[in-house]
Amino acid sequence: MQTKIAFLLVLLLSGCNYSPDKNTKSHPRNDLIKTEGEMVAELTAPPNVPAPVGNRPAKKLKVELEIVERESELSDGVKYIFWTFGGSVPGSFIRGRVGDEVEFTLENHPDNKLPHNIDLHAVTGQGGGAEASFVAPGHKKTFTFKLINPGLYVYHCATAPVGMHIANGMYGLILVEPEGGLPPVDREYYVMQGDFYTKGNYGDPGLQPFDMQKAIAEHADYVVFNGKVGALTGDKALTAKVGETVRLFVGNGGPNIVSSFHVIGEVFDKVYVEGGDLINENIQTTLIPAGGAAIVDFRVEVPSTLILVDHSIFRAFNKGALGMLKVSGDRNDKVFSGEVLSGIYRPEGNVIQEISPSEPKPVRAVALSKAEKIKLGQQIYDRSCFACHQPDGQGLPNAFPPLAKADYLNEDVDRAIAAVIRGLSGEITVNGKKYHSVMPAQVLTDEETASVLTYIYNSWGNNGTEVTPEMVSKIRNSK
């Protein structure tokens, strides 16, 4: 009995884990780290990040960040007045290391209309620097702080009304690397989610003012990565090669919406949870709070187009929270074989599903030009068709027919319009191959249908047909 108690005591004592080493690691006195020399911080616009700190000593780090209020696109054809740190949304990426003494200068461009400031979550001090940096247009303010805690931190404007300044794009990330730097990887990217509130609905063209009521109600019209629908798709997709390690510095500026960050077709080998020291492994989806961040690391093993999404999934396919990472290189059939066999399995029967349409959208007074249709059409394609018909309209063998150089499409425009607005089922032959599947009816306006088809007809070697809303309405009414 006595030996048992003694054994338990030993266990308890060793379980309490007291060791001076551990203690200093979790409570380091980074405020005492001495600096050697000074340097000007490299700042980068998304999706790029400055060079890693490596094993440089702590320094005096000079950061000069300019606030720019400017008009830019929230989506193709949708304009918005963004307020930015450094001209981009999210703002310039700032990278330092523990022990750095930052001399931070915030400049408010003379053409700006409003005062602003900055609250950096990496700062230990009053308001994260908000009071010290409050600056009117045509002025600049300098304050200093020491980077004490390593991690990935959000910064944002904190000028009243705070929500409005953030909603207009005033946020970014500052990375504080640990002593010796983060483990090196082959590629690093900067991705930040944000939600936007406009007077019009998603996709309504023209200059869209901020809508305070929707922001208060948290009814986002747009949820996007890097400030724009499509900022990371098509030719702006991120890239990597098979065998490389990729690190994403992912932030969420909010102002309201929490992100269920996920990459379709990949598993995160490592997640630095909430951007801190805790590393979780083998993660599918990581939660990124508004005003928070995470670092995700993964190795890419096979060629594919990985899709970055907020897995609160309507945001991805209907509000813009979708990006791409194109992985090129050799196949590895052991890791992923692609389709081996396919057949039709349809327990619910062949009924075409229709989503009940919302209120009809107002008809535009002036018809869109062909070029405008193609632009709008590409956006609709990326949102509504691409998941099945694939990025370049190539389709998927035995499942989704191609739209690129498709005889079925090019032969008969009325038939194509009908397929889009009513859906399509039963056997069809496209380019000599038989398909027997179901395409759901697409809930699109006449103009949207005309635009997406015009885009398709004018892409990928198709015959250049221009489809008008009138042609669509004729088919719709001939039911």
Task: Give the active site residues.
Answer: 116, 119, 121, 156-157, 165, 170, 262, 281, 285, 311
The residue among 402, 404, 445, 71 whose CA lies nearest residue 227 is: 71
Closest approach, Cβ 390 to ligand HEC, in A, equals 10
426 touches ligand HEC by CB under 6 A? yes
When CB distances are held under 5 to 8 angstroms depending on the partner's kind, the choice from ligand HEC, Cu ion, none that residue 327 binds is none
Q: Which two tokens stand for residue 240?
A: 């990597």
Locate all alpha helices (DSSP H) within 151-211, ordered by sequence: 162-167
Q: How far is residue 265's CA from residue 316's CA, in Å, rounded to a whole number? A: 15
With CB under 5 A as the contact rule, the residue among 170, 238, 309, 471 that binds Cu ion is 170
Per-residue binding letters, 110-139, with ligand HEC (x by CB under 6 A): ------------------------------
When CB distances are held under 5 to 8 angstroms depending on the partner's kind, the choice from ligand HEC, Cu ion, none that residue 116 binds is Cu ion
With CB under 6 A as the contact rule, the residue among 264, 283, 430, 443 that binds ligand HEC is 430
453 touches Cu ion by CB under 5 A? no
> Site size for ligand HEC, by CB under 6 A?
29
Per-residue binding letters, 65-104, with Cu ion (x by CB under 5 A): ----------------------------------------
With CB under 5 A as the contact rule, the residue among 59, 95, 97, 116 that binds Cu ion is 116
What is the amino acid identity at position 313? Answer: I
The residue among 116, 121, 114 whose CA lies nearest residue 134 is: 116
Residue 383 has what DSSP assignment? I
Query: Of 155-163, 238-246, 253-261, 317-325, which part binds Cu ion (CB under 5 A)?
Result: 155-163
167 touches Cu ion by CB under 5 A? no
Residue 143: C-alpha distances to residues 109, 148, 158, 350 (Å)? 18, 16, 16, 67
308 neighbors 266 (Cβ within 8 angstroms):
no
Closest approach, Cβ 311 to Cu ion, in A, equals 30
Closest approach, Cβ 67 to Cu ion, in A, equals 7
145 neighbors 128 (Cβ within 8 angstroms):
no
32 neighbors 99 (Cβ within 8 angstroms):
no
420 touches ligand HEC by CB under 6 A? yes
Closest approach, Cβ 438 to Cu ion, in A, equals 50
Q: How far is residue 167's CA from residue 357's CA, in Å, rounded to a whole number? A: 29
Residue ranges in 297-356 that form contacts with Cu ion under rule CB under 5 A: none
313 touches ligand HEC by CB under 6 A? no
Residue 222's DSSP bridge partners are 196
Q: How far is residue 146's CA from residue 124's CA, in Å, rounded to a whole number? A: 8
When CB distances are held under 5 to 8 angstroms depending on the partner's kind, the choice from ligand HEC, Cu ion, none that residue 307 binds is none
Closest approach, Cβ 385 to ligand HEC, in A, equals 3
CA angle 146, 151, 155 (to 5 degrees): 70
H helices, E strands: number in the chain? 12, 23
Which residue carries 């009995």 as its tokens? 1
Q: Which two tokens stand for residue 14?
A: 């060793």
When CB distances are held under 5 to 8 angstroms depending on the partner's kind, the choice from ligand HEC, Cu ion, none that residue 157 binds is Cu ion
With CB under 5 A as the contact rule, the residue among 84, 133, 159, 259 that binds Cu ion is 159
Q: How far is residue 280's CA from residue 439's CA, in Å, rounded to a whole number? A: 40
Q: How far is residue 105's CA from residue 121's CA, in Å, rounded to a whole number? A: 16
> Site size for Cu ion, by CB under 5 A?
5
With CB under 6 A as the contact rule, the residue among 408, 457, 471, 472 that binds ligand HEC is 408
Closest approach, Cβ 426 to ligand HEC, in A, equals 5
Pick 93 or 134: Cβ nearer Cu ion: 134
226 neighbors 191 (Cβ within 8 angstroms):
yes
Residue ranges in 375-404 that form contacts with ligand HEC under rule CB under 6 A: 384-385, 387-389, 400-403
Q: Is 429 helix (H, G, I), strand (E, B) or coil?
A: strand
Residue 417 has what DSSP assignment? H
Q: Is 82 helix (H, G, I), strand (E, B) or coil?
A: strand
With CB under 5 A as the contact rule, the residue among 165, 247, 270, 373 that binds Cu ion is 165
What is the binding site for ligand HEC (CB under 6 A)? 384-385, 387-389, 400-403, 406, 408-409, 416, 419-420, 424-426, 428, 430, 435-440, 442, 452, 456
